[in-house]
Chains A and B, each alone.
Chain A
Amino acid sequence: MARPLSLKEISKKEVLISSGHRMCAGCGAPTVIKMVLLASDYPIIAATATGCLEVSTCISDYTAWKIPWIHSAFENAAATISGVETMYRSLKKQGVISKEIKFVAFGGDGGTYDIGLQSLSGAVERGHDMLYICYDNQAYMNTGIQRSSATPRGADTTTMPAGSVVPGKTEPRKNLTRIMAAHDLPYAAQASPSHWMDLMKKVRKAFDIKGPKFMNILSPCNRGWRSRTDEAIMLSRLAVETCHWPLYEVEYGVTKITFKPKEKKPIVDFLKPQGRFKHLFKPENEWMIKKLQEDIDREWERLQKEASLSAP
């Protein structure tokens, strides 16, 4: 029986990622992982792509993982977990194993949107019973804040630094959640640690669905976003409230917005506290903010329309 989703109840569970990991102070990623692990009552085996999460949670001779865990390379968390899951199916069929086990892969945005997209697409198409979670911190953080296809328009990164000619990233983000939903997989969702109940519900739902599932979870990075160390949750909340990061799910093709802000805040509220967007507030770059807002408005409109079409 799954525990009710109240903090009082789930706080009685053992957290399956331990203290002593070496993510930066105030990093959003460990909190995201913690929520995912807390949401499940099933035993979990995880694969993790190379990136901040991987290098900081498992540094020989220490591991912060209290579940079976494997890292093999950067672009292949989905392929790696599909191997683990297939061995499980094989041994289960042979009667060697009987336990119910769930399989998760964690990848950063670089490891998911970019270099790992092929491996993820392949694993989803093959129908492995797994949940792939992208912890999206919107750049290649582990190697020092380089631009990824998840980096928002306008952001200052070390490979597209804001300069006198180039005003930070000139292209909009890749809409990966939509790309994954277009695989017609059983479940795709977007979540944010600020909305923990929504996040955990989605994880639970995902684990109870057979087949491939995908979740894209926003994971603030104070080092790369140039924000304060105490703002991870606050910024992820603002991302949701500005509709920069809408919370929704697509279950068997049916789109549902799981959280509608009472009042959609202007994107400036999300940009302001972050040093990576500082240059956008110079008069000559204000058009970028306008563009960003347009991107968001368009996607939010589209999403609402999609959801209304799906509505019963």
Chain B
Amino acid sequence: MAKTVAATGNEAVANALRQVNPDVSAAYPITPATDIMQRFTSFVSNGKVKTEMILVESEHSAMSACIGASAAGGRVMTVTSSQGLALMWEMLFIASGLRLPIVMPVVNRALSAPLNIHCDHSDAMGARDSGWIQLWSENGQEAYDNTIQAFLIGEHMDIRLPVMVCMDGFIISHSIERIEYLEDNEVKNFIGEFRQLNPLLDIEHPVSYGPLILPDYYMEFRKAQDEVESKVFRVVLDAAKDFEKISGRKYGLFETYRLDDAEIGLVILNSAAGTSKDVIDEFRNRGIKAGLLKPRLYRPFPYKETGEALKHLKAVCVLDRADAFGGSYGPLFIDISTSLYTYSKKPILINKIYGLGGRDYLPEHAELVLNELTEIAKTEKVKTIKEYIGVRG
């Protein structure tokens, strides 16, 4: 029997991790993710989990210890944000390259400089090509559900990849909402026993992890990894199906909201999707066919499915809570335009950068964008492709 509680996003994720009950966790404090680990270590201190903690001296060591622990042969997780994720950068590629199914909730926060502890997506976006699977979450419920599914997905024998679960710092991590928890044993049965693959601790079968690879083989290993990525979609959908059976909640590669017959649409990640949906309802009430697509599995990116879902629209705005320096577009925009690239008939695309460093995303921002899209759909004319919104002139 599911239990409904009022909890913050961090609390929900900490509870998911308690229910998963990993063998080892290594962690280092950073706002706004610290709170998850504080809650989790109190489970450790009170015997609520069997987890052995490694309270490391840096995030670089946190990921390094997770890599050692995972290669040793057990279930491993850590949590981080922003600078912590940036410090792990080197090790992220090593975790995925060694094919270790480590799970890591990332509480999204801006990157320094200037120092800012509030929400944006620069941290996880910077790690989007590190070979980790990324699941993004609109609210605490999704963060909870994604965290549980992440273990099943990453540990799948066809996959064996690390998984990040992203949720918005403070906006979700520290806000109380209504959340439905599964029963402990439902989670336990859902993820199953950890299955080892070439564990270091099997001293009867000594294996070597992390060889030097010369040009004669490096490319084959990259290709093999690229192939694995292509299997992730199926596994994510299967996990979602199984998860629906125990939770009643539906998940896919992305969520569409009133998109099927839409003419204009927004593409937006995480918490801002919630605000946007309300505004879309208002536009629908006024007879304007607006819709929304919220990516969930952001890495690997389901280009084909996303393109299919968006191709019939007249105008689409991709909202990025991170910018790519160098005069480029936002990272989500680049992926969405790539997903539509192969279609001859496709929507006109624009890109808005919003909400950096914790700047509020308000209904009026969505309204502004939807009005602009209505105009573009009518005139087929675009003034500026990329623009910051909610910024002072």
Contact = CB atoms under 8 A, between A and B. Distances in A.
Q: Do chains A and B touch in the complex (CB under 8 A)?
A: yes
Interface of A: 43, 45, 47, 54-55, 58-63, 65-73, 75-76, 78-91, 93-94, 97, 99, 101, 118-119, 121-123, 125-126
A68 to B, nearest CB: 4
A82 B68 contact: yes
Contacts of A90: 23-24, 50-52, 74
Contacts of B64: 72-73, 76, 79-80, 83, 119
B208 A87 contact: no
B162 to A, nearest CB: 13
A156 B211 CA distance: 31
B55 interface: yes
B68 A47 contact: yes
A79 B23 contact: no
Contact of A84 (B55, B69, B202): B69
A121 B71 contact: no
A55 B211 CA distance: 7
Contact of A79 (B56, B73, B98, B214): B56
Contacts, number: 167
Given A67-B206, A70-B209, A76-B61, A83 B52 contact: no
Contacts of A99: 203
B217 interface: yes
Interface in B42-63: 50-52, 54-58, 60-62
25 contacts: A54-B210, A59-B214, A68-B202, A69-B200, A69-B208, A69-B209, A70-B200, A70-B209, A72-B210, A73-B90, A73-B91, A76-B64, A83-B26, A83-B70, A86-B54, A86-B69, A87-B52, A88-B201, A91-B73, A93-B50, A93-B52, A119-B60, A119-B64, A122-B56, A126-B54
Contacts of A58: 208, 210-212
Contacts of A65: 206, 208
Interface of B: 23-24, 26, 50-52, 54-58, 60-62, 64-74, 76, 90-91, 94, 98, 200-203, 206-214, 217
Contacts of B23: 87, 90-91, 94
Most B-side CB within 10 Å, residue of A66, A69, A79: A79
A97 B23 CA distance: 13
Contacts of A70: 67-68, 71, 200, 208-210
A277 B287 CA distance: 85
B70 A71 contact: no
A234 B266 CA distance: 73
A82 B57 CA distance: 12
Contacts of A118: 57-58, 61
A59 B211 contact: yes
B294 to A, nearest CB: 35
Contacts of A84: 68-69, 71-72, 200-201
B72 A60 contact: no
A66 to B, nearest CB: 6
A18 to B, nearest CB: 11
Contacts of A78: 61
B313 to A, nearest CB: 45
Given A68-B206, A94-B50, A80 B212 contact: no
Nearest to B26: A83
B194 to A, nearest CB: 10
A125 B57 contact: yes
Given A58-B210, A86-B54, A97 B201 contact: yes
A88 B72 contact: yes
Given A54-B212, A73-B91, 11 more contacts: A79-B60, A80-B64, A80-B67, A81-B68, A83-B76, A86-B69, A87-B23, A89-B52, A90-B24, A90-B74, A101-B203
Given A45-B203, A60-B212, A82 B91 contact: no
Nearest to A76: B64
Given A87-B24, A90-B24, A91-B74, A60 B211 contact: yes
Nearest to A62: B211
B211 A83 contact: no
A60 B76 CA distance: 27
Nearest to B51: A90
B209 A83 contact: no
Contact of B212 (A47, A59, A89, A91): A59
A86 B65 contact: yes
Nearest to B216: A60
B198 to A, nearest CB: 9
A154 to B, nearest CB: 33
Contacts of A73: 64, 90-91, 94
A14 to B, nearest CB: 12
